[in-house]
Amino acid sequence: MEAMLVIGLFLVNAGALFFLMKPSKTLSGVCNIIGLCLVVATAYQFELVSIIVPIVGMACVVLILIKVFLFKNKKEKIEQTEEV
């Protein structure tokens, strides 16, 4: 079962790269979403979800903080250029 999930993940990622080069970029996004689902299914097979969920949660928090910080800096730069 695990081998089929890994092979499926490889094929889906190859499809995503293939469709990224073609005009149909929406299919590339669909392949990426399917690939993420396969990663979660593989994690369930190996019972790694209890380790993955906190790491993904921390990564999301870090990304949100970075985005807020960058947005704040961008807003300050825009205000500074308007004053000049």
If phi over 0 gives left and psi between -120 and 50 gives alpha, with beta otherwise, what is residue 47? left
Q: Return d(Cα 29, Cα 56) in angstroms, integer.
A: 20
Q: What would the pLDDT profile of 29-59 be if each residue is shown by its tens digit?
A: 888 888 888 887 877 777 776 777 788 789 8
pLDDT at 82 (0 to 100) = 65
Work out the mean pLDDT of the chain and round it to a whole number. 78
Q: What separation, in Å, do the N-terminal and C-terminal C-alpha atoms of the chain show?
A: 64
Tell me which residue has tokens 């921390």.
Answer: 58
Domain boundaries, the chain: 1-47, 50-84
Greater pLDDT, 68 or 1 = 68
Q: Return d(Cα 38, Cα 32) in angstroms, integer.
A: 10
Alpha helix (H) ranges present in the chain? 2-21, 25-45, 49-83
